[in-house]
Structure 1
Amino acid sequence: MAQIAVFFLFLAVIQASVALKCKVCDDTDGSCSKLRDETCPAGASDREAACLIHIYKDATTKKEMTEKKCVNRFKNTGKYDCIENPNNQQIKCYTCVEDFCNEKNSATKLGLFGIVSLVLSILVSKIL
């Protein structure tokens, strides 16, 4: 029975190491109303793939613009510097590293498969 717990723990680790999937804006007007899925490419050894949400107010149109895409951020700090136009007003710029965590304008979504696998491995080990 301990093998079952190890199996679920293994699944949780595998899920965390699989390529990151993010939502990417699929329109050009800055509304980001159409999204598509994209698998993020791996970065250099000091970087990790991350999903970006960048929201800013356009200086010319005064319209709130949203950018969502895959980026590479520094592993040791989790930092990514958004490219800013000095004329635009920055509202939000953050990254996250869970699959599709940039689908909404929030970085709190966790990978459900990883959480379920981890909880099951703990429960099974307690039962045994």
Structure 2
Amino acid sequence: MPVTPWVGYRPKSWVVSAQWLGYTALWNLLDYAAVTVPVTCADAGVDGPEGNGNSDSEIIREWRAHVPRNASDRFNYLQYDIDLVKDMPVTVQVVGGKFGEEKAVAVAKVLDEVLR
């Protein structure tokens, strides 16, 4: 399961983006063990434009008032579509260090058991 610090892309839009994928490639470069664990799923009732039904919530006001900081931020902001990502997994990445495969998998198993 790939890990990115942004929402999933709309179909065919990744190829025109200028996003940096080093968030996961770094661990390959360092020869570190890494594993991803799904912790929840995108929920239209919580993560949609009206949040949890409270349209006056601070998060919703911040989302609507957001001013992109740069072209990359603007691109990511415009990608968000809850109908496209609803029910998709939200993951965390566990990094175990060099030769840390067993530790990374053990932590991932504990997270998975705790969250289920």
TM-score, scaled relative to structure 1:
0.21
Task: Name the structure with the higher helix share.
Answer: 2
Bigger relative contact order, structure 1 or 2 (CA pairs below 8 A, ≥6 apart): 2
TM-score, scaled relative to structure 2:
0.22
Task: Name the structure with the higher strand share.
Answer: 1
